[in-house]
Structure 1
Amino acid sequence: MDMEIDLSNLGTVNTMFAALFSKLGVPIKTTVSPTVLEEAMNGTVTVRPLPVGTSAMGKVEKQSAHFFGVTISEEQAHSGIVVRATSVAQSKFKLLFFEQEVNGGYGLALQEDSQKTGKVTSAGMYFLHFQVYRMDSTVNALAMAKDPEAAFFKRLEGLQPCEVSTLKPGTHIFAVYGDNFFKPASYTIEAMCAKSYEDTTERLKEIEAKILEKRTDLRQFETEYRKALARFQEATTRYTQEKEVVDDMLRERDDIHSSFTTERTITSSLGAGSSSSRYPVEQNKTESSENGNIDSRDKSSKKKWFNLNLNRSDKRA
């Protein structure tokens, strides 16, 4: 389940923990401060004009908002309007869209959390008379972190249709909300008429349709992939088992081959115990012959010395 917290109600310690978890990749979804929403509803906020075709830069405190009024003509409304905010400092912020209430205040209608796109963070709203989508990166984020394959198949599941696709002529209220944990958020906000970006608008329409089609394809492919992966794992397991069986059979075959030999076991007693050793028969014969020759030489030598002593004794006598 995604975490959704109001940073304005957190103390310093809890805010530090939230910032740490966010750095570690835990999706922490924040809400707009009730104070900001109440001030907007009461109409007590300061609204700065943002003419179409211009931009404005600023730095907003955390859990605070800067409000802008974008006034569009009938022709511009018919062509389409785009409002985007970026931060080269990669600040976290929300782009908010408010609708006029009966009491004169402003009610929150849309919000876009900034996302890291390249070297900046950005958020945009596209009122182009066709269905556009926003990417909610927190959808199944924790589950995807545990399964990299699921991260791919669920990557497009975060596409959510924007509730508003057109704007009527008049003044519309947007705001940049500071969503950093501690420091202010720096930003640049700009409003554009789609008439100056007809090719870009058409490309966006085409890529949105392709992404939706690809999302459907991935859902079907995931089923096929899971089945193929299960078969592959089954085949891999069998491969390991078959390899072990073949290795054992060949090892047994080598042992059987080694049993064909002229060696025999000779048991000799040594002291109180006995030990067995294997000697070739021919080697035993050779050693016996050599031992016999040594004994003969020893006896001959003794006889010579004995005769020599006897002869000397006879002469003395």
Structure 2
Amino acid sequence: MDMEIDLSNLGTVNTMFAALFSKLGVPIKTTISPTVLEEAMNGIVTVRPLPVGTSATGKVDKQCAHFFGVTISEEQAHSGIVVRVTSPAQSKFKLLYFEQEVNGGYGLALQEDSQKTGKVTSAGMYFLHFQVYRMDSTVNALAMAKDPEAAFFKRLEGLQPCEVSALKPGTHIFAVYGDNFFKPASYMIEAMCAKSYEETTERLKEIESKILAKRNDLRQFETEYRKALARFQEVTNRYTQEREAVDDMLRERDNIHCSFTTERTLVNPVGAGCSSSRYTTEHSIPESPENGSLDGRDKSGKKKWFNLNLNRSDKKA
């Protein structure tokens, strides 16, 4: 269940925290000041006329409202009426629609919170004789924060049908409510007859139908996506396991190949492959002096030198 904050009951510190969270992108729903609703119900508000086809600008203090009366003819009511509010300063506000009560006061019937659209914030009400929808960005906000993937699938779940799709001839009361945390909200309000926007009206009707159908498609696609994602994770895990198994078998195969040898392996640790130390079964025969070693040649030379000296001594004698 969504929680709404009454800014009139918040202190300065709590209001600062709420403003900070809102600046960070956390959707915070605020209630309309009970004072404004009570004054409207008692009919003690100032209503300024807003003829169809005109606009008005102003600045409204926080938790206060500016009221406007839009008088429409039978032809205009049949064609459809659009009331929009924009704020180039990106102020936060609410567009309110009041119905006439039997006691002469005004009871709140509809409200639209401003949304950021491009470089401005805006809100609108479209009384075009077909079902239109408003987007509530706070729907499933916490769930989307926990699951980023759900943000896409739940994006259209905030579509809420507008309760009123047509207006009768007469004067209708609208109001711009200041919803900023501290400073006044600047705005421009416009009232238009749909007869001058027939092509735009048809495009809106068509896109509303497409978006509604797309929401139903996404609900079904989410189920398929979750199943496919689970299957993908399953095969990814198997891929890792199969790759490791193949590497192990090929490594073992190489070790087996290396076992086919006439050399005896001294040490063959696991995974060492064919790089183990080996020694041969045949022993080399060292050379003897008789086989022409260096020591043999030296001894032979000494013997010849001794005999030579001995012969010379014999001749002198």
TM-score, normalised by the number of residues in structure 1: 0.86
User: Structure 1's 138 and 307: CA in aligned 2 closer, same or farther, altered over 3 A?
Assistant: same
User: Structure 1's 94 and 262: CA in aligned 2 closer, same or farther, altered over 3 A?
Assistant: same
The alignment partner of 1:130 has SS state of coil
- Give the 5 Å matches for 1:196-275: 196-265=196-265
Instruction: Name 2:140's counterpart in structure 1.
Output: 140
More displaced stretch, 295-304 vs 9-18:
295-304
Deviation at 1:110, TM superposition (A): 0.6
Instruction: Name 2:294's counterpart in structure 1.
Output: 297
Deviation at 1:193, TM superposition (A): 0.6
- Give the 5 Å matches for 1:47-62: 47-62=47-62
Instruction: Name 2:155's counterpart in structure 1.
Output: 155
Residues in 1 aligned to 2:167 and 2:290: alpha-carbon distance in whole angstroms: 122
Residues in 2 aligned to 1:141 and 1:185: alpha-carbon distance in whole angstroms: 25
Residues in 2 aligned to 1:17 and 1:295: alpha-carbon distance in whole angstroms: 103
Deviation at 1:208, TM superposition (A): 1.4
Instruction: Name 2:21's counterpart in structure 1.
Output: 21
The alignment partner of 1:68 has SS state of strand
Per-residue Cα deviation, 1:102-158 (whole angstroms, up to 9, x for no partner) = 222211111101111112111000111111111111111121122232222211111
Residues in 2 aligned to 1:21 and 1:69: alpha-carbon distance in whole angstroms: 35
Identity within the alignment, %: 84
- Give the 5 Å matches for 1:108-119: 108-119=108-119
Q: Is the 8 A contact 1:3 1:27 kept in 2?
A: no
Q: Which runs of 5+ in 2 are unaligned?
A: 268-275
Deviation at 1:80, TM superposition (A): 0.9
- Alignment size in residue pairs: 306
Residues in 1 aligned to 2:125 and 2:303: alpha-carbon distance in whole angstroms: 127
Instruction: Name 1:104's counterpart in structure 2.
Output: 104
More displaced stretch, 114-123 vs 207-216:
207-216
Q: Aligned-residue CA RMSD in angstroms?
A: 2.9
Q: Is the 8 A contact 1:65 1:176 kept in 2?
A: yes
Structure 2 residue identity aligned to 1:36: V
Structure 1 residue identity aligned to 2:165: S
Per-residue Cα deviation, 1:10-38 (whole angstroms, up to 9, x for no partner) = 11111111122222332211111112112
The alignment partner of 1:63 has SS state of coil
Deviation at 1:202, TM superposition (A): 1.5
The alignment partner of 1:252 has SS state of helix
Q: Is the aligned partner of 1:12 residue 2:12?
A: yes
Deviation at 1:313, TM superposition (A): 11
TM-score, normalised by the number of residues in structure 2: 0.86
Residues in 1 aligned to 2:18 and 2:33: alpha-carbon distance in whole angstroms: 16
More displaced stretch, 126-135 vs 42-51:
42-51
The alignment partner of 2:25 has SS state of coil
Structure 1 residue identity aligned to 2:195: K
Deviation at 1:211, TM superposition (A): 1.6
Instruction: Name 1:174's counterpart in structure 2.
Output: 174
Instruction: Name 2:272's counterpart in structure 1.
Output: none
Structure 2 residue identity aligned to 1:43: G
User: Structure 1's 294 and 226: CA in aligned 2 closer, same or farther, altered over 3 A?
Assistant: farther
Instruction: Name 1:273's counterpart in structure 2.
Output: none
Q: Is the 8 A contact 1:37 1:108 kept in 2?
A: yes
The alignment partner of 1:116 has SS state of strand
User: Structure 1's 304 and 120: CA in aligned 2 closer, same or farther, altered over 3 A?
Assistant: same
More displaced stretch, 36-45 vs 306-315:
306-315
Instruction: Name 2:270's counterpart in structure 1.
Output: none
The alignment partner of 2:139 has SS state of coil
Structure 1 residue identity aligned to 2:36: V
Deviation at 1:76, TM superposition (A): 1.0
Per-residue Cα deviation, 1:73-114 (whole angstroms, up to 9, x for no partner) = 111111111000011111111111111122222111111011
Q: Is the 8 A contact 1:2 1:28 kept in 2?
A: no
User: Structure 1's 293 and 313: CA in aligned 2 closer, same or farther, altered over 3 A?
Assistant: closer
Per-residue Cα deviation, 1:266-294 (whole angstroms, up to 9, x for no partner) = 69xxxxxxxx9534567x63xx5479899
Instruction: Name 2:32's counterpart in structure 1.
Output: 32
Residues in 2 aligned to 1:54 and 1:154: alpha-carbon distance in whole angstroms: 37
Residues in 1 aligned to 2:174 and 2:122: alpha-carbon distance in whole angstroms: 15
Residues in 1 aligned to 2:77 and 2:244: alpha-carbon distance in whole angstroms: 73
